[in-house]
Amino acid sequence: MKRNILTMVLFFLTISAFAGRPIPPSDVAPEDWTRIPYCERRPEFVPTEAEKTRGFALFTRPITDPVYPESRPGAEERTTELSGFAAGDQWLTLNFAVYPLRELKNLRVVAGEFACGEHLLRDVQVRLVTYRDVRYTHYNSKTKQYRVLPEYLQPVTECDAPEKVSQRYFLTFYVPKGCPAGKYTGRVTVTYDGLSKAATLPVTLEVLPFDLLKDPTKHYSAYYYAPFRHTLVQTGQKDEAWAREVMRKEFRVMRDYGFDRSPVMCMGYDLEEKKFFIPNFDFWQELMKENGMEPPIPTIGGSVSWVLTKYCDVKFGSHLVMTGTPTEEAYAEIEKLCRAWKKECDAKGYPAMVFGPLDEISPQSTEFGVRIYKIFHDAGLPTYTTKEPMDPSFMAYDPVVDIFASQVFLPPYDEVMTKHKKEYWCYPNHNSYERKDMVIMCHGGRQTYGFGFWRSGFDMLVPWIWRNNSPDHFNLASSGGANILNPETGDMIMTTYWECFREGIHDLKYLYTLQTAIVQREEATDPAVQALCQSGRALLQEIWDSIVVQEKYLSGDLIPSEKFDVYRRAMAEVTQSLLKYPATNEKVAPSVIVEPRNVEHPDSFEVQYQEKLKAGKLRLIPVDLTKCRATEKEATVEVVPGKDGKPNAMLRVQVDTQNDGTGNPSGNYLSGWPALVYNFPAGTFDRVPKGIRIRYRVTSSRTDCEKFPLTVGVRPVTSFTITGKPMGDAVQEVVHTLSDNNRYDGLATSDAVPAHLRLTVSENHYQNSDDVRFLFEEISLIDWDEQE
């Protein structure tokens, strides 16, 4: 109650403050929560005399690189001007930060006009990156830890800036189609109470003489709660008219952030008329038309599980794990509802929809899930399912699913192209709201939405979630995060990572615009045009080959932040040169015109490891295999003698997807995570080691399977999955970095040194009754001195 009162006080104070100040409510962490501060490793900033006199320094860094309250600028990041370039129909964001050398009262940042001769750029936004306490490291973490993140973007002109707490501003331009080319110049002024002369930051935006084109096969959407379900409406503080106006505003913002398909609709069940329906569907279609969003509309729900519980004695746990058996009467009712809904859709001429009646359904409910999907499919309602390709039930849905949606970019590109269903969708929740790490969300997000999307062969990105209805970051029963609403105006307050997603979308537009320019001029006989086409293809092939292909683009092996813009500039220059020559055809360019080859990128850690091993400069910190233990009932850990007489640890897992191995009476997780666990003694590490080495063998009761995935977690540093194969007595060796794709940004040594090891078998990846054994001959952490 104490925290809630304080939160409301802060809320009303900010709402009543004069115009232009930050206004969203700020969750205040409860007293029993621990703050995990960002650990800044840059040296102390040394200001110039001019900066001391002025009271602040100005700096800039790529928008994919976060600025935390604890961040310090590097000397090389100082800036005295901003510049960028954009084509027609593009949003471009430049940024700068004010680093206060003392407390600055009423810090004011204002952008002037941006003009090229008589032409003005009218849609210019200045938004402050505002900090917020956020549950850390995941949106649903139960550890009562939080971090202050640069979460939200607000159109703020005034704020109070504490000493050495950077205030970062995003300066965003929209360049409309057909905008006259040229250099548009303007400036931003920065001042505060007591400063005798405002600082000015000159800004130059070069508008290119062409418009961007969009790949017609690439689409963007997101899961969405319509504002009728928002907390303010449910509690009676706002009415339906407010919700409709909010929805109208939201669709406009979605359009501006690249949505070309409707956000995901929720289909409900009408208790009185006993039929499926979609709330406010006519209004929804109107907004789609206004904002250029094309069908098919992704649609979830239908209250299938609710209808089933009404007709028979079944219950559903997490991931629709079912207890009880649905009756034939229940299935018949679902079939009746589906056929009635199909008839209504046809009669009223509704736009095309794709239905996901069940979300992330567990493998043990496969028979039930496939039957429900078949009912929808046979009724003429196209379907999609949220399944991971490594899920053993993945292919069971193939005959009754039109579109596969997975959280990862799997299947790989060549398989997507050769076994193409209608479409493949990815819902990259790790970049949007799920993993509360700014590098994963911003840097990994830009790569996911742009070059990674291109490289995947997938058709649509549809992450969870666009906006949360109840953004309480500290309610352990809910999931706080994502974009929020200004409760007074109903305007969207965007998160910083959506800005990075939009940059990725524009990366892909530059790429497709160049591809179109090439395809439409390759038949020209002019040697100059042929040379430009070859140059463009070579550039595109370089970009393709430079991508380290990943299932998830998180925080490792990404295109360097600065190189995003290097590639974009290079693509723009070739495009501009090509467009000086007339097209020889009107062909529609395919998504990929390069050779879709797979390039092996050497693992830098393995290279270093081999060098240090050969030189005898490795330091190994062994895990005591005699002190490992098992978790969950399906797992046992036994110490067995190795070939050399040293003790080995045998992890045996007898997969049981019918019972919850934790002993949880609710039985929500029948497919569990049995594991081998080891706790490192306190004081084992004074720094984070470089990597881990595992030497093991795997055997199994299965003879029809070659892959046995095992997740290696070295907490809190990292986790990754290895895939063992039965190889008789042959020992498999895995060497892996601890600074990899799952690392979290800016952890202090005290927060980052390994605390425990967990080797986990996810039962979702196995079949019921599988008996699998992992024999570990060695588990060691790897380190070496950088100076050697």
> How do residues 247-279 score in pLDDT, each as one tens digit?
999 999 999 999 999 999 999 898 889 899 998
Element (H, E) at 94: strand 90-100
Question: Tens of pLDDT along 717-727?
Answer: 788 889 888 88
Contacts of 590 (CB under 8 A, 6+ apart): 515, 519
Indicate whether 25 pLDDT > 60: no
CB 762 within 8 A of CB 712: no
Tell me the C-alpha distance between 331 and 45, whole Å.
67
Who wins on pLDDT, 706 or 227? Answer: 227
By the 8 A CB rule, do 192 and 104 touch?
yes
Query: What average pLDDT does the segment 384-410 reach?
Result: 89
Pair 109, 203: CB distance under 8 Å: no
Poorest-pLDDT segment among 193-207, 462-476, 690-704, 772-786: 462-476
Higher-confidence position of 142 and 35:
35
Assess whether pLDDT exceeds 70 at residue 12. no
pLDDT number for residue 20 = 56
Mean pLDDT of 192-210: 97
User: What are the backbone angles phi and psi of residue 331, rounded to the nearest 5°?
Assistant: -60, -40
- When mean pLDDT is compared across 248-257, 463-472, 630-639, the lowest value belongs to 463-472
End-to-end Cα spacing for the chain? 56
Q: Which amino acid is at 670?
A: L
Please give the pLDDT value at position 234.
85
How many of the other CB atoms lie within 10 Å of CB of 714? Answer: 24
Cα–Cα distance measured from residue 392 to residue 655, given in angstroms and rounded to the nearest whole number = 13
Per-residue pLDDT tens over the stretch 403-446: 999 999 999 999 999 877 789 999 999 999 898 999 999 999 99
pLDDT (mean) for 321-338: 86
Mean per-residue pLDDT for 628-653? Answer: 94
Q: How large is the C-alpha radius of gyration of the chain?
A: 28
Q: Spell out the residues 6+ positions from residue 367 whose beta carbon is closer than 8 angstroms to its own.
A: none
pTM: 0.91
The vertex-332 CA angle with 369 and 280, nearest 5°, equals: 75
Mean pLDDT in residue range 150-159: 90
Q: Is 393 exposed, middle or buried (0-12, 13-18, 19+ CB in 10 A)?
A: buried
**pLDDT > 90? residue 28:** no
Dump pLDDT digits (tens) for 108-132.
Answer: 999 999 999 999 998 899 999 999 8
- Assess whether pLDDT exceeds 60 at residue 1: no
Residue with token string 């038309």: 289
Please tell me the distance from the alpha carbon of residue 469 to that of residue 238, in angstroms, as a whole number: 13
User: pLDDT tens digit string along 737-788?
Assistant: 987 767 788 988 888 889 999 999 998 888 889 999 999 999 999 999 877 6
β-bridge partners, 624: none
Residue 13 confidence (pLDDT) = 29
Q: Give the span between the Cα atoms of 602 and 618, in whole angstroms.
A: 20
Residues composing the chain: 788
pLDDT score recorded for residue 17:
31
Q: How confident is the model at residue 333 (pLDDT cuts 50, 70, 90)?
A: very high
pLDDT at 469 over 90: no
Q: How far apart are CA 481 and CA 263, in angstroms?
A: 18
Question: Which residue would you say has higher pLDDT here, 12 or 188?
Answer: 188
| pLDDT (mean) for 590-594 | 97
Predicted local confidence at residue 630, as pLDDT:
96
- Give the up-direction half-sphere exposure of residue 78: CA atoms within 13 A in the CB hemisphere: 11
Question: In this model, does residue 8 exceed pLDDT 60?
Answer: no
Residue 51 zone, left/alpha/beta (φ > 0; ψ -120 to 50; rest): alpha
pLDDT digits (tens, 9 = 90+) for 501-523: 999 999 999 999 999 999 999 99
Confidence of residue 26 (pLDDT cuts 50, 70, 90): low
- Given a cut of 90, whether residue 475 has pLDDT beyond it is no
- pLDDT classification of 35: cutoffs 50, 70, 90: very high
State the average pLDDT for the chain: 90
589 CB-near residues (< 8 Å, 6+ apart): 215, 512, 515, 516, 518, 519, 520
DSSP 735-767: EEESSSTT--TT--HHHHS--EEEEE--GGGS-
Give percent of the chain above pLDDT 90: 71
What average pLDDT does this structure show over 322-350? 91
